[in-house]
Every structure is written in C-alpha cells, then in structure tokens.
C-alpha cells in the first residue's frame, strides 16, 4: 500500500454538551478500502462529515497528504479531492444526468464544456448510466440516482471517495447494483472510506474495518479479524445480529 492520504489525530466533535466523537485516531493509505461499521448514533457519519469538512471538528487534526485540512484556504478544491457520496444522492433536480455530472468539472475544476462532457460520459458509462444522460433525477430509481452520484464524484478524479451509507435509502433489489459499482472501484484500486451497515459487503470489499461504538473506535483491523474473530465484547454483541457474515 502507498502513502497515507488521510490521517486523523485525536479528533473530537461536540454538539452542545453532547460529545459525538472522542479522540479518534486512524489513517487511510492509497488503495485502502476502509469500512466503518457500528450502531446508529455511534459517530460514523459525523466522522465522515468531519473528514469532508461538512462538520468542523471541535478538536484534533485531519491531515490530507500531510496538510492540516482545517488550515486550508480552498475548501471546494479539497472537497474535489475527497469526494463524498451521500445516502440521499444530493443530485440537482433541475438538471439532467449529464449536467449533474458536468457541473463540478466546469464550476470547480474550470474545465471547458466539451472536455467536461467527455469525462462525464466516460464515468456515466463506467457505472452503467450512459443510456440515461438526458433523464432528470425524478425519472430515475434510487439505485440509478446513486450510480449517477458516484459517477459525478469519480469525474472529479478524487484521491479518496467517502461513502455515507450508500445503500440505506435504497429498496433491497437496488442495493446490489450500487454495491457492485463500489466493488468494481475497489478492484481498480480506488481509495475509499465507506460507512456501511452491509456486513457481507464490508467483508468482501474492504482491506480494513473500523468498528465504532459511542463515539470511539472500539476495535479495528482486517475484515477477518473484526468480523470473524473480534476481541471486544462490544464488537461481538454488535455482530451477533448479523448472521452469515
């Protein structure tokens, strides 16, 4: 594996009196696929939102290629390098699929329209959505919207992709199509941090699993270690509800 892309040191986050993240430390190297698992309310999504600066940490450091992201001047540029795919897709309803994928390229990366169109088409084809380039989001299924959202982030050529429960808003029959796209990206060597409640997927796609509980990293390691042979009681109790991992 390569150099560290993201390094988190002593990260904390409070909402009022409530401490959501408590002294979080971990790092992600180039080519890593890290799955973050844990119950609702354990701090997983807040951690992801802090990495992308959608939430500003209360303390600690987030380093991107050894730079402290809290000191960066150009946040949109940083976010283009650390792309985020949300559970609710966040597509622009007034734009068609192609326009949704081009807007970051033209507005943030300042590419000309022809170049942006070419790249957007390439990534839409990659996720199986090129037949739908003229469709508006309201004409698409949830799985199709999520694949467009993934293509939109890929077009920005990020160094790392963050996925916040990418299948939680989907009907069961659509989950597979999105997970297959993410599995393909993992095989191609994309660096990803994935908050997921799909344990079998975490096992198959990740080389590292982080189990969070009550705002701390309770246990971390390879999928085999965490999902099959956890040491901590909390991890065992959490995984008991997922048979057949």
Cα Rg of the chain (Å, integer): 18
Phi, psi of 142, rounded to the nearest 5 degrees: -60, -40
Per-position pLDDT tens, the chain of length 245: 458 999 999 999 999 999 999 999 999 999 999 999 999 989 999 999 999 999 999 999 999 999 999 898 888 889 989 999 998 888 999 999 999 999 999 988 899 999 999 999 999 999 999 999 999 999 999 999 999 999 999 999 999 999 999 998 888 888 889 999 999 999 999 999 999 999 999 999 999 999 999 999 999 999 999 999 999 999 999 999 886 65
Phi, psi of 102, rounded to the nearest 5 degrees: -90, -25
- H/E/C letters for each residue in 173-227? HHHHHHHHHHHHHHHCCCCEEEECCCHHHHHHHCCEEEEEECCEEEEEECHHHHH
Note the pLDDT of residue 2: 57
Judge contact between 220 and 243, C-beta under 8 A. no
Q: Which of 219, 212, 208 is nearest to 30 (CA)?
A: 208
pTM exceeds 0.95 for this model: no
Note the pLDDT of residue 243: 64
- H/E/C letters for each residue in 11-46? EEEEECCEEEEEEEEEEEECCCEEEEECCCCCCHHH
Could you tell me which residues come within 8 angstroms of residue 7 by beta carbon, excluding any fewer than 6 positions away? 27, 28, 61, 62, 63, 66
CA dist., res. 238 & res. 89, Å (int) = 28
Note the pLDDT of residue 1: 45
Across the strands, what pairs with 29? 4
């Amino acid at each position: 594996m390569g150099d560290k892309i993201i390094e988190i040191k002593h990260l904390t986050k409070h909402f009022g009196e409530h401490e959501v993240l408590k002294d979080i430390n971990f790092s992600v190297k180039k080519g890593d696929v890290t799955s973050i698992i844990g119950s609702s309310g354990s701090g997983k999504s807040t951690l992801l939102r802090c990495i992308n600066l959608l939430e500003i940490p209360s303390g600690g450091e987030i380093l991107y290629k050894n730079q402290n992201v809290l000191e960066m001047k150009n946040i949109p540029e940083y976010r283009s390098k650390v792309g985020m795919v949300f559970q609710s897709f966040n597509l622009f309803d007034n734009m068609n699929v192609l326009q949704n994928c081009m807007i970051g390229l033209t507005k943030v990366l300042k590419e000309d329209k022809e170049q942006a169109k070419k790249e957007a088409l390439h990534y839409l084809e990659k996720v199986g959505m090129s037949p739908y380039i003229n469709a508006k989001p309201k004409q698409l299924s949830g799985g199709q919207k999520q694949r467009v959202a993934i293509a939109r982030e890929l077009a920005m050529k990020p160094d790392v992709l963050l996925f916040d429960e990418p299948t939680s808003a989907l009907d069961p029959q659509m989950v597979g199509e999105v997970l297959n796209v993410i599995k393909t990206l993992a095989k191609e060597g994309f660096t990803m941090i994935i908050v997921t409640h799909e344990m079998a997927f975490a096992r198959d796609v990740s080389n590292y699993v982080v189990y969070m509980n009550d705002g701390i990293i309770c246990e971390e390691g390879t999928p085999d270690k965490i999902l099959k042979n956890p040491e901590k009681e909390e991890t065992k109790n959490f995984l008991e509800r997922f048979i057949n991992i």
